[in-house]
Amino acid sequence: MSWWKRQEPEPSPVDPNMPLVRLESISRVFEGEADEPAVAVQDVTLDIGAGEFVSVSGPSGCGKSTLLSLMALLDTPTSGRYWFRGRQVDRITPAERARIRNSEIGLVFQSFNLIADLTVFENVEYPLTLGSTSHAERHDRVMDALNRVGIGGRAKQRPLQLSGGHQQLVAVARAIAGRPPMVLADEPTGNLDSASGEVVMQMLQELHRGGSTVCLATHDPRYIALAPRHVYLFDGRLTDRSEPESGRAS
């Protein structure tokens, strides 16, 4: 039996005919200099089913990070509609959106986003403290996650005492400790050496085999190929081709 067993979130009304994620004509426009708008994501329509592993690639600045931020409920689209687990996101209260971010979506950032003043254990535990998980269960989940990524012995250290690779493994442990149904990874290997990058990717593959939905934003062709499904983003739009002739991903 896989070590990974997804935690079922609190019951919520779900249309069984809808995928886990549905984006319908989603756009995100930011205010630019001299009132020139900057279009980060434009008219994206995308379905991601429960249990899928999808890679999103494209050149730098194509909108990958913005797209994942929208999916993670960290940002709000300028136009279009987003359904998560059959619920239309713009009709969910701010408190419920925060609960979903904390318990149903695991996030792995390229920049790690660890809290320097907290230990490794406390960084991984922190999201769990925002819910109703008991102290004993939090301890077990944190240590399970840290041991799984191979850094259980570093639980008492602080992030600045770790290498970049180990910091990213802490970020992965934090994302999976809550056992969310979906994990979003934004260029998780971008700041790592090849060996550390391979470890992180192995973890994402194991999460997928354990039943979690994984969406990976990356420009690395080695990791794009690991995902059974691949979509390509160019100038904020999804394209039919994996690498358009203009603006090939590097």
Residue 212 CA to residue 85 CA, distance in Å, equals: 13
DSSP H stretches of helix in 30-184:
64-71, 94-103, 120-129, 135-148, 164-177
Q: What is the pTM of this model?
A: 0.84
Which three-class secondary structure state does DSSP give residue 102? helix
Strand partners, 229: 54
CB within 8 A of 179, min separation 6: which ones?
Answer: 4, 5, 6, 7, 141
Q: What is the pLDDT of residue 111?
A: 85
Mean pLDDT score, 153-182:
92
**Percentage of the chain with pLDDT > 90?**
60
What is the pLDDT averaged over residues 44-65? Answer: 94
pLDDT digits (tens, 9 = 90+) for 179-208: 889 999 999 988 888 888 888 898 899 889
- The CA distances from residue 182 to 8, 101, 210, 222, 246, in Å, are 11, 10, 11, 22, 32
pLDDT digits (tens, 9 = 90+) for 78-132: 999 999 999 999 999 999 998 898 889 999 988 889 999 999 999 999 999 988 8
Residue 9 has pLDDT above 60, yes or no: no
pLDDT of residue 70: 96
In whole angstroms, what is the distance from residue 105 CA to residue 23 CA?
16
> How many CB atoms are located within 10 Å of the residue 1 CB?
5
Kindly state the helix (H) or strand (E) to which residue 84 belongs, with its residue range: strand 79-84
Return the CATH number of the domain spanning residue range 52-73+97-228: 3.40.50.300
CA angle at residue 13 from 8 to 15, to 5 degrees? Answer: 100
What distances in angstroms separate CA 156 from CA 112, 126, 170, one per listed residue?
18, 14, 12
Closest residue by Cα to residue 157 from 117, 126, 125, 195: 117
Up-side HSE of residue 43: CA atoms within 13 Å toward CB? 4
Q: Where are the domains of the chain?
A: 52-73+97-228
